[in-house]
Amino acid sequence: MLNSEENIGDILYELLDNEENGITIIQEMSDNETDVEAWNCIIDAVAYTSRLVIFFWIMANLFGRVIRHLSLGYSATGRFYL
């Protein structure tokens, strides 16, 4: 999974928002107020982690583009190389 192009932050968000078995569905089905509060903490933690992972994924992609751009240059013969 880590080698795929899919953003893990999106996968985490899907755990929250999945209409069939997402964390929010489980939280909504709970009758116990203590359980609801616990699920709220879990939902907040997963949402925060998802947002953070998406941010770092975006930054890593941007940084990778900058590195690739900076690595472009010219050889001693004046020819362009990668």
pLDDT in tens, 37-67: 999 999 999 999 988 988 888 888 888 777 7
Any idea how long the chain is?
82
The H-or-E segment that residue 26 falls in is: helix 23-29
- Ranked by mean pLDDT, the top range of 1-5, 10-14, 35-39 is 35-39
For the chain, what is the mean pLDDT? 79
Sign of CA pseudo-dihedral 56, 62, 64, 66: negative
Confidence at residue 59, expressed as pLDDT on a 0 to 100 scale: 87
Of 27-31, 37-41, 49-53, 73-77, the least confident? 73-77
Q: Which two tokens stand for residue 10?
A: 């999106």
What 8-state DSSP symbol labels residue 77?
T
CB-CB neighbours of 69 under 10 Å:
8
